[in-house]
Every structure is written in structure tokens, then in C-alpha cells.
Amino acid sequence: MTEQEFRKKLAENLVKYRKLNGLTQQELAECLSYSDKSVSKWERAEGVPDVFVLLRIAQVYGVGVAELIGETGESKETAALIKAQEKNEKAKDRAKKKALERAQKRKKKEQKKK
């Protein structure tokens, strides 16, 4: 793995785990006593947190450093969390679609009344 590939994989994982944990860049930065600009830089693969910060990030997310840097596959817990999040997103999409359909039906009924 080249350095650029390493940075990219780490950046992807940092974004993934931050979002899975429902944190903003600002919130993560506050947990780490860093700036949100640093977090943004790491997530764009323009920099890499030092090993102590990487360890702290892994602790915040409840994963191992190896998982963050892409050396191992996702843990069972992480895979389950991702699956649950995807299921929740699909349910939200279905609910939005149904709400839109109901609104369109109401609009048609109102137009017929006029």
C-alpha cells in the first residue's frame, strides 16, 4: 500500500465512523481537543493524525486502530451498525415516498373540487 492509498483509506474510514457515530467534525474535534479544520484535513486525506490521536479516535468510536487504518475488516458490531443504518435510511425513504404520494392525492382531490 502506498502512502497515498493509506491516507485515502484512513480518510474514508474516519468519515465513515464519524457519521456512524452521529458526530459532526466540530464535535469530534472537541472530543480530541483539536480544531475542526484538523479533522477536515484528515478526512480529505491531506494529513494524518499522529498515533496518539489515532488511538483516541479509535477509542471514541469503539474500534481498533487497525480497523481505522483499514488493516482489518469491519468488526461484527460495526457491520451490524452499518446494516441497521442502511435499513433505517430505506425506511425513511419509503416513508417520504408515501407522504409524497398522499400529498399528491390530496392535491388532485382539491383540484377536482374546484
For 17-56, how does the pLDDT look when each residue is reduced to its tens digit (9 = 90+)? 999 999 999 999 999 999 999 999 999 999 999 999 999 9
What is the rounded distance in angstroms from the CA atom of residue 93 to the CA atom of residue 102?
Answer: 14
Cell of residue 3, nine digits: 502512502
Residue 2, classed as helix, strand or coil, is coil
Entry pTM = 0.64
What is the rounded distance in angstroms from the CA atom of residue 98 to the CA atom of residue 114?
Answer: 25
Q: Mind listing the pLDDT tens digit for each residue in 54-106?
A: 999 999 999 999 988 886 655 666 666 666 677 777 788 888 888 888 888 88
Find the length of the chain: 114
Looking at 3.40.630.30, 3.40.630.70, 3.40.50.720, 1.10.260.40, the CATH number of the domain 1-73 comes to 1.10.260.40
CB < 8 Å & 24+ apart, contacts of 29-38: 31/56, 31/60, 32/56, 32/57, 32/60
